[in-house]
Amino acid sequence: MKNHKLLQEFHELGVLQTGHFKLTSGLHSEQYMQCAKLFEYPQTASEMVKTLLPKLPGEIDTVIAPAIGGVTVGYELARLLGCRFIFAERQDGNMTFRRGFMLQPGEKVLAVEDVVTTGGSVQEVVDLARDCGAEVLGVAAIVDRSQGKANFGVPFSALVHMEITVYDPKSCPLCAKGLPLQSPGSRKAK
């Protein structure tokens, strides 16, 4: 599916939102990708996630993801691949495997995220997997908005690549217009 067609579908599903948003980074934007909205429609989400499969490396034992954004897409990719799925979550500010999740040395993993902006959270999960001795085969995401800057040292595939303009709050034209500010992310904005 072409980038523009996916973006149109994302807009129709409420994934691609417009307004005045305060991002986790503290920056402001008039567009926001709320991938959780995609998973309100499991069949549609499955069909979209399925289009990632040909882009992925083979022989994946386990899909891993950072909580919370990567959990639903990671679970669906693992279901489609017929492999195991686990996720990492923050504890005392650091990504860690909890709930009895663990990786074995040599286990072949794919790290998954919903939206990659800087790639920080998924990089933490990649590092965690490597610390366990697992072999990271690649990274996948629904949306790559890193503008080609995310580099995990392994192949990186995304359904959609897009640039979202961001503004420093001190010079934000949306603030100057007096538009109400929303903080839609799962982590507290800076």
Residue of 55, 59, 6 lying closest to 35 (CA atoms): 6
| Residue 163 confidence class, pLDDT cut points 50, 70, 90 | confident
Q: Concatenated DSSP letters for 32-71? A: EE-GGGGGGSHHHHHHHHHTTGGGS-S---EEEEETTHHH
pLDDT at res. 185: 66
In this prediction the pTM is 0.86
The lowest-confidence range among 13-27, 39-53, 81-95 is: 13-27
pLDDT at 1 over 70: no
- Report the percentage of the chain scoring pLDDT > 70: 96
Q: Among 3.40.50.1820, 3.40.50.720, 3.40.50.1000, 3.40.50.2020, name the CATH number for the domain at 3-176.
A: 3.40.50.2020
pLDDT digits (tens, 9 = 90+) for 21-76: 998 778 898 998 888 899 999 999 999 999 999 999 999 999 999 998 899 999 99
Question: What is the edge-to-edge ordering of all strands in the sheet holding 28-33?
Answer: 16-22, 28-33, 166-167
Which amino acid, 34? Q
Give the Cα separation of 105 and 84 in Å (integer). Answer: 15
8 Å CB contact between 94 and 128: no
